[in-house]
Amino acid sequence: MYAAISRSKPPIPLQRLRGSARVCFAGRENRLTDLYQTNPCRVFLPRRPGGKVEAVLLNTAGGITDGDELDYAVCTADGAHVVVTTQAAEKIYRSRGDDCLVRNRLQVINGAFLEWLPQETILFDGAVLTRKIDIRVDTDSRLLAMDWLILGRLARGEHLRQAAIHDQWRLRRDSQLIWADDFRLNGDVEALRHRRSLLDGAHAIATIIYVAPDAPDLLETARCTLRNAECRAGVSEHAGMLICRILGPDNISLRRDVEAFLATFRAALYGYPAPLPRVWAC
């Protein structure tokens, strides 16, 4: 009447996420030229005053874990200016061993300007994550991009003790690789994060880059912006781009300094105060 079930059989594998989203804009009127999305990835385009375009990416699953894969692609061309953010912080949950993979592919060509401003990525104890950020930008285009990692929600008593994290950036200008950055934490995170060559005790890290013809001219502006930072921070110029790192004792301190830096630095780019994405305040 009932089929026999062997206790020695391996468990049935869990269903995994395979989501992707692609959004492209062109022209100074920020015309939408391509939009594609599959579960659990979604793209929202809220209306902004003055014709400004803000694309909001959302993972409807609320987080990712064992073997999940998310793929996001954004393209701006022909003078378009777009701000892309995420609806909430991405959460990387405990894994049974399989990698979860996040790919972010950004293309900025023909005098366009892309601002890639996602919210935090929060790592839970036992997380296994590979994240790849692949960027292609023209010489006459501009890119302001950032990403940040939070090692556990300390305010809730959650600590990241064991994890396997590989965060990879690849930036090409006119098809030439000008910046490659790899950040790894594998094993005893509590011990690794105290190494001076890694996090020197920090629980949160943000990376912000600015790639544009005027990037070297804004180095001193960026440094002045960070002088009053609560967290440890620094910025340098390399191959015509600015690279900023901010190390914080917790996510709250890091967010305060990131928001302050972006508000001041973006105002210098725009020539007037530029508000952060609305969803950052939600």
Band of pLDDT at residue 156, cut at 50, 70 and 90: confident
pLDDT for residue 178 is more than 50 = yes
pLDDT at 2: 46
pTM value is: 0.93
Residue 211 falls inside a structural domain? yes
Per-residue model confidence as pLDDT tens digits over 95-133: 987 889 999 999 999 999 999 999 999 999 999 999 999
Residue 6 falls inside a structural domain? no
Residue 232 falls inside a structural domain? yes
**Structural domain count, the chain:** 1
Residue 72 falls inside a structural domain? yes
pLDDT at 131: 97
Residue 2 falls inside a structural domain? no
The answer to whether the beta carbons of residues 172 and 178 sit under 8 Å apart is yes
Q: Which two tokens stand for residue 248?
A: 């914080």
Kindly state the helix (H) or strand (E) to which residue 223 belongs, with its residue range.
helix 219-226
Residue 50 falls inside a structural domain? yes
pLDDT for residue 1 is more than 70 = no
Per-residue model confidence as pLDDT tens digits over 195-251: 988 899 999 999 999 999 999 999 999 999 999 999 999 999 999 999 999 999 999
- Residue 100: give the domain boundaries: 18-281
- Kindly state the DSSP code that residue 7 receives in the 8-state scheme: T
Question: Which of 82, 83, 125, 118 is CA-nearest to residue 102?
Answer: 118
- Provide CB contacts within 8 A for 134, sequence distance 6+: 103, 104, 105, 106, 170
Band of pLDDT at residue 10, cut at 50, 70 and 90: low
